Structure 1
């Protein structure tokens, strides 16, 4: 019982609504939502009207169906009036089953919502997508979590189709009542915290705000301050995966607003008697962040009235000893209003909020009441005991189970004094509160101790002990009536950076988008090619087109290899020069290769895992193979398909010629070939530990907990050693004037001794298809690893490989837990390269990995220098990294 009391008390003091628990069916299926509250833009028949759009119900003809064939351009909708403001977290959909006689369903839908029935807003997830996937058949329930959640009364579901089709829908909505009553808040936009000029490291913007964003002002909407997500003590640490640092907070810098305070306005659905306001603030004073020093709140009884002259003032007690984030409860004295304006005064350089909630009661006419015990919802009243007057009777809100309130009878002549009959009840309540506070203080102190220990724990364990919210991308298929699932994953990342200009989709139009390119580009005779050692190569400053910038589609399509990779591009080689005598490795008997597994495929070729019988004896001494005592060994075999074009065949032979010349401990080695007959094959080393991306993503940083629990781990020394090996391999390629074009952890393979060898298989694997961007259906580019001049000018040089090396280092020191620039869409990444070219301080950089030493991140930043000549060489990178590792 004590545990339950503590749980209820903690829920009340932390936030008004917890999205992880606010997942109750709102009444479509069980009929609490009445037929007259369900409307639609059209219906096919009377028996497919909106009143039949109830999940798991078979009345009428089994579902709501809009009239006629739904066209891709149509906007037909099903509208539900929830009767009150609601915190909506989940939507469930079905098709028309009709006792096995129906087969109509919606594969996708959009969601619009309104708090007043007049102003409609379009829901979109944290990636900015408005379309939600729905059903694949007519009977299964598909449950979709809404991230961000919706605070609304009216909901519209709009089925979407790509081809003319008949659709039908059944629906259930999940959430809980929005007792707060807040329908909008206005504030200055959140700001960014910088470590040095031009390098944003913490973005404190309100990214889910659904109102108007104009002139650095947010107005008329709700956002992160009402989403139920409470920020942690360290504002750099977030409760969700793959989001930027500071995501959980909205913050402002002192002096940036022209005053020493932040002014916010709050509008409510009706007049309320406000008892208190609770603001969750960060107090990481070591970083210049503190709770507000004071707040002044003015009240407006009606929206068209003037602000009342007498504000409610509150001064906080600043704490310079405990950096924990906390709720600050501001008493509002039961003032009556429909709108509030609060000015929060800075106490330090920064002020950060993650949640704001209000405790209030609806305005009522005082009446005489008899003593009674009532039960209230836990989130309805303030969590701390407060004396409230109901008519002539003060009531004591006491944190018993389910938020029980005890109304105490009083003597009318002595208002506010309980009579003797209720004194034991009051004493018992106060004693209970004191005991609870003692236990809570003990738990907080214990939690702080445990958290300090867990700071060194692996990321996976930390995620299991922190508060979790539901995932926006999870889809749960149910064959039975749906029960809202509890999902443990977090939100995908989302941030509005800037809109992508459509001209970025058209390479030929880039000249219009960035006319500076053609004006500043230096004339060069290099073209798009990269030379072998015996051909003079242009300098980085010369490697610009004087013509319209392009995406080098011709180069990449012809040189990306038969499996989709683009290994060591050498366009200087001509097709006529590719003959069998140019291949410096031996022909291996084809019948000794035994297929074991298909590793990947491309347009004209495949990569297979094979056993090569007798390969050590065939290659002789010094072969880079594990000692198998004469047994067959595993190899990777790239094979050209029988239907490959002549160009693909020539490219395949070209790749063999290039790889046969490479001999370095950190470069994948070509062992032998099978080219005397079709299909053409090249046999390379197979690395038993797979690629570096998969290897690191399955590990945590080494700690006492990883050792105690046998969790696969790596040390900082291991990461530095990996970095040195990659720089060594790339130093060798650069010495031969070879350009890789696709350096990334997915293309770095590890053998059983954890030796890294650079390869080119990443692009051939479906696992990494999201790392590549397809342009106009033809060229595929690893744009998140590419230098700006490679994307905008189609120029690939050793200097662009250095850029990719910096991104690869960033991957290593994030343990490959997320994709580079995960906050940006592919199109935004391309537009960001334009900002690198303009160099006006608006470019977005990768944030420093938490595991990365500052000196190493400075080295990464040098790799991403806008000026090609200022980037380090691979020889310089190797010499800079080598002293940190005992090789």
Structure 2
């Protein structure tokens, strides 16, 4: 519950940040009609190069508009030799962010058939310099303007044979451009060669000298600059970037020109921070402001907080101190080999709004002051909604716990009643674990199989599972006491961790609660690795409390086996996976992290990922493990099905969330993988080599299905437990996993089904399983 609340709080921050940044423009929602069809754009703001007649003048070129006075559209005089230069022009009176256009042919009371099959668009911010629009792939005609344009004047130019009559009605969609940014000047972007891949960081949509382009298109770059929001574009498309090798002074200079003098609050710059590839956000920004002809002598200097862990791209806010200017010159200093920007936005107040422009009434026009009030109101509403969601989640979880307890109690009663069926009953007597006395009681059970030396009485083991602890009361059995006088046997939820230690005499595993203290780095089996010898290469994934990085560990071979190191030789750095715990993680997460280190340090098996070393002397805590290039077994099998475009994740935190549905939570903290457990492990708490064979059979079934579905996917968790009860009762009603389509009959019938035999003594050994598999391959 606390985890979900923390996660929601974490998202609140990014929602508020996104809302703040996108107050100026959002291409996804900035699609309002600007007034051709609605009449907000006046007739005097619509002009044309020519007209066929007075009834087809420019003022009639409005989408979905016919007042009955004209012939239902603008129709140019196409009889002139320069007919290809005809245009319909719209003056929006101020800069607008335009994302969409719409066109129609002539109406003429339903009799008009003249329309422009093709047209081009030109736009201007000042009325003198015109730019032809084209999309990101160079095409010149589209209704959806991708990339969008920032303009005051827009021209529609029909493309047709000059001997033909062509007519147009148009509409523009977008919103007002509140930045006031008229143009920017930046150095040309550079090209990166990354692992043989050409990565271009040029401003591909820049619309000319002193123009606008990719830094103002409303699209943020992804964390990995090799990928793009736009399908089919080249690596690096979303970013404009530079290498410090071409800038001897160590900085990139940019100049931003605005429509009039403004009162600037801040500048937000979206930067890549993938430092494993030599890319970091800027080290320092020095900004000069100009209101007249000269730059001010005292610049604004800002140094962002250095982030040496996260690879996440982010907006960096540069405060401008409420200073006035009509132009800003900023120098961004390198902190690494490369510096990449994808978006720049300015926040300015309304103290000096341009009174020389007289904007008409426009439903999409909002001056900065009202926009700020709207923003504050939206943020307050978002916070209120999120608080309400948090309260609902907390309240729902309280009710879920209450209902869960009630449902568990009903399940216990039902299971107990079925276990007590009077068929072939037998009674047995058990003695107390206490040394001070003993008690006896009689109970009735169905016979599972003939009693043997390692058979463990259910009355002792079933109570280790809280789900079935109450069933002993219904069966009329007196609770045992452990030596020392504590009431009842310990169950999974009471143990800090479960230590499975193989018993050499009986072949069973004992379930022992371990009261483990915090790891202090004194465990002789795990040594402290020098943190400075780790070189971060790439972020592999991110969990709730930390991240997993691909790193190079220098000297790891010598560190692991000093006796085998040879003087004068130098082993190459070893690729490892480094799991880090964030410094702000809560106490429970920190304890779990340290316990995971203790457990993994004791595992030594060639088929299990090995914990190589730790870094726990200072924060952030790190565990260094072998790097699984192909992921775990589940991910590897999935990759066989999805070879095209499959991205393997090696983050353990993410894997834990990915496989969360494979575990069934019992009362308290314990979770069990019941879909892989034998029936005696679930109901009786009995873990043996035979129960491991059962789990192997399920895993073999997954392998042959390439992990297309979860075992017993058609059954709920409660139905899986009920199915184990059918194994206990042995009335032939138990459900088995079906034969995979590509599985040979003898593998399924002779091997898998034998692993799931009710009688554990009749299941094959692992040696027999190995022999059968080898015979199947022969």
Q: Structure 2 length normalisation: TM-score?
A: 0.46
Q: Structure 1 length normalisation: TM-score?
A: 0.41
